[in-house]
Amino acid sequence: MILVFKERRAMKYLPIIFILIAITLISVGVFFLSLPLGFIVTGIMVALLAYMIAPKGN
């Protein structure tokens, strides 16, 4: 009885897990296909994040 309940609860989250895995695999694949562009975009985003969280002088 407990085993069946756990399987049903796990099956409820299975599509979400598969979607997250698919998004991760697609992102990694695109990153490896255009590695230099990926580093440029990542660098720009990190610089933008650093600018946004840096304390502003008032």
- The reply to whether 23 falls in a domain is yes
d(CA 36, CA 28): 13
Residue 18 lies inside a defined structural domain of this protein: yes
- Closest CA relative to residue 42, chosen from 24, 58, 27: 27
In this structure, the chain runs to a length of 58
> Could you give the number of structural domains in the chain?
1
25 occurs within a structural domain? yes
Q: Is 6 within the bounds of a domain?
A: yes
> How do the pLDDT tens digits run along the chain, 58 residues long?
455 556 667 677 777 888 888 888 877 777 777 777 777 777 888 888 888 888 877 6
Domain interval for residue 45: 2-53
Query: pTM of this prediction?
Result: 0.45
Residue at 29 is within a domain: yes
Helix axes 35-53, 2-33, angle to 10 degrees: 110
Judge whether 58 lies within some domain. no
